[in-house]
Each structure stands twice: as structure tokens, then as C-alpha cells.
Amino acid sequence: MKLIDISQPLGPGTAVWPGDRPVSLEWTMRRRDGDSVNVAALSLSVHAGTHVDGSLHVDDDGVAAGSLPLSAFVGPAVVVDARGRAALDADTLDGVDLAGAPRVLLRTRAASDATTFPQRFAALTPALARRLVALGVPLVGTDAPSVDPVDSTSLDVHRILAAGGVVNVENLVLDDVVPGRYTFIGLPLRLVDADSAPLRAVLVAEREDETITAG
């Protein structure tokens, strides 16, 4: 069994959505200063790094991220290589084995850089969102900062997925993952009344040859 970490590292250098609160980590107690322990304090947007959106993100009456069903975050997943597409339309899933309606993870970029917000990225189209809902997948993830286009204000894809019961995870790191089937594990923080929540996401590969090494 091989565990593959597919979550972004979080720290002061982590890029956030333009205008959002940056990640800040500072020490409130240090042993070197005479304290008995080291204690760090963290300040960040709930959208920093790898995170899940609750429907509260786009709906004032929606579900907070900490109240989403945990069953969506553990189980079979398929990694789809969608690099080279300007947008992820319904045909992105053509030819992909979706037996058992697994979680769908979309690799859209050649390489991820957690320290730089991408100027362009491939977002899902409403047609693909509707196809995912129709397939009954519990979760869709992307290595992009959003499932919607960067300039979207209506956030149609977020709304379609939320209404259809599909959880969406953003800012995954899929650089070193061979397309195929895995087990996904990525539990969000149990935040109260927050629209989104960071999560530590991993894939479980049953064979060593299901992974590749960067470089």
C-alpha cells in the first residue's frame, strides 16, 4: 500500500485567491525565549490551500463545510488526466471507467506551484457538472483554485454541484499521480459556520507502480 499526499503545503508562502486573506503563521511561545513549549498561531482564509466548499459558500442557507457528510470524503476515486483543455466539458469523462460512481479527481495542469496563483486555469463547464450529478459521484476534485472560471460571479458550477449533492474539493496536487483508480481520503476540519474548510487529502494506491516520482 502506498500513500500519496495530494494536498498543498500551507504556510506564509502559499498563494491565495487574489484579495483573500494570506496565510500567516507566528509563534506565540518559544522554548528558546524561555517558554516551556513551542506554540504557533495560524491565520488564514478557509479557501487557502487544498479545501472543500460547503454550499454555504454560494448560498446563505447552505450547508457549512464542517457539516458535510464524511462519507463523501473516503472511498474509491478515479484520477483523470485533463491537461491541455481550455475548459472541462462533459466529454472530459468519455472513455473513463466510472463503474461504481467513484470520486472524480481532475488533473488540469502540468505542474502545481502552491506559491503562485495561476493566471489561467481550466474550470468545469455546467455540462460537466450536470454529468457528474447524473452519474451520482459523491465528490469531484480539481488541481485548479476553483471549479468555476476565475472571472465567474454567478458560480454556476458550484451551484449545480451543491444542488446535486456533489462535494467539490479545490487546489489538489496531482502532479505525481498516474491516471487511474485509487482510494481517496481527505477529511475537512470540523469548522462551525464556515463556508469552506481546509483538508489533508491523500490517495491510497494498492501497488507501488501506480505512482511516479517527480523529476
3 state DSSP class of 33: helix
User: What is the span of the domain harbouring residue 185?
Assistant: 2-210
Tally of CB atoms within 10 A around 111 = 10
Q: Is residue 108 part of a domain?
A: yes
Q: Is residue 91 part of a domain?
A: yes
Q: Is residue 165 part of a domain?
A: yes
Domain count, the chain: 1
Distance between CA 144 and CA 126 in Å, rounded? 16
Residues recognised as catalytic? 57
Q: Is residue 199 part of a domain?
A: yes
| pTM over the 0.85 mark | yes
CATH, residue 25 = 3.50.30.50
Q: pLDDT digit of tens for each residue in the chain (215 aa)?
A: 899 999 999 999 999 999 999 999 999 999 999 999 999 999 999 999 999 999 999 999 999 999 999 999 999 999 999 999 999 999 999 999 999 989 999 999 999 999 999 989 999 999 999 999 999 999 999 999 999 999 999 999 999 999 999 999 999 999 989 999 999 999 999 999 999 999 999 999 976 554 432 22
Buried b (16+ CB within 10 A) or exposed e, 32-65: eeeeeeeeeeeebbbbbbbbbbbbbbbeeebbbb
Q: Is residue 95 part of a domain?
A: yes
Q: Is residue 215 part of a domain?
A: no
Tally of CB atoms within 10 A around 98 = 17
Tally of CB atoms within 10 A around 5 = 13
Element at 198 (helix H, strand E): strand 196-205
- Looking at residue 215, what is its pLDDT? 23
Q: Is residue 19 part of a domain?
A: yes
Q: Is residue 72 part of a domain?
A: yes
